Amino acid sequence: MNSNRMVVAQRGVIPPPKHYADSAWFKYILSCCAATTAEMVTYPLDLTKTRLQIQGEKGLNGNGIHHQPYRGLASTGVGIIREEGMLRLWQGVTPAVYRHLIYSGTRMVLYEKVRDHLFTRRADGTRPVWQAIVGGILVGGIAQFLASPADLIKVQMQMEGKRRLEGKPPRIHSAGEAFVKIYNAGGLRGLWKGCMPNVYRSAFVNLGDLTTYDSVKRYFVSSWGLSDNYWTHALSRGLLYRNSLDCLMKTIHNEGFWALYKGFIPCWLRMGPWSLTFWLTYEQIRNLSGTSAF
């Protein structure tokens, strides 16, 4: 900064540069804050989705009795509130937040690094879409693999309320206890049990979320002349199965093909609000912190 710029900055016209604002560790923290906000707002839909997906599995109901108390998103949510209480809609949110401290922080920082250093930049400032696709898939898979233990713990905690309603003793009382039990039973490999379907899913979720947002936002700014502001950001936007294949085959055999899509609607309904909340929060806190726009 030259002397004239320093004088202007001291007068309050131009704020002095924040050297930490564009550092990787600071962006990591900001992405974790935005993801935590989005997770807290939309988590009840995630719990509802999990309950819908897993309630038909054999071996989860007491005395071998097969029943399906919930039908659809609304009845599941109301049933959980009526039978377990309002706060149960956030059961398992702690490991879900832990997951995003790894998953969202890793995918956002890693994607930005890959984009800024490996992508080709055209004269108009845009980048080839195929590079964004490859980058999004790659960082999504890596981030989910690292966060898989937290995902496993989250699902186990989500099911505790249902087990207790069925008269079964609780298996775990906290995320820490779940971690210790999984590790003692299966070691490090046990913490990544069944992780690959989620790795594949997250790779393509990033294709639809991170890659799309990045590409569409840059298109709006460069081609439509929109400002990089709030409106542009909004516009852009274990024991039952041996492995993933065994889970697939048993689900189809026991519940039919369409059981694979149980919980699709709440999952779909959650992803929209989650992404909107995340990107609006992330862009705004980056702006308030003096960090360059994503």
CA atoms within 13 A on the CB side of 261: 4
In angstroms, the CA 35 to CA 97 distance is 8
In angstroms, the CA 126 to CA 214 distance is 10
Q: Is the pLDDT of residue 241 over 60?
A: no
In angstroms, the CA 157 to CA 137 distance is 28
pTM: 0.71
Residues 214 and 115 sit within 8 Å (Cβ to Cβ): yes
| Site of tokens 């999004």 | 136
Q: Is the pLDDT of residue 54 over 70?
A: no
Q: What is the pLDDT of residues 171-200, one digit of tens each?
A: 888 888 889 988 998 899 999 988 888 898
pLDDT recorded at residue 159: 75
pLDDT recorded at residue 8: 39
SS3 72: helix
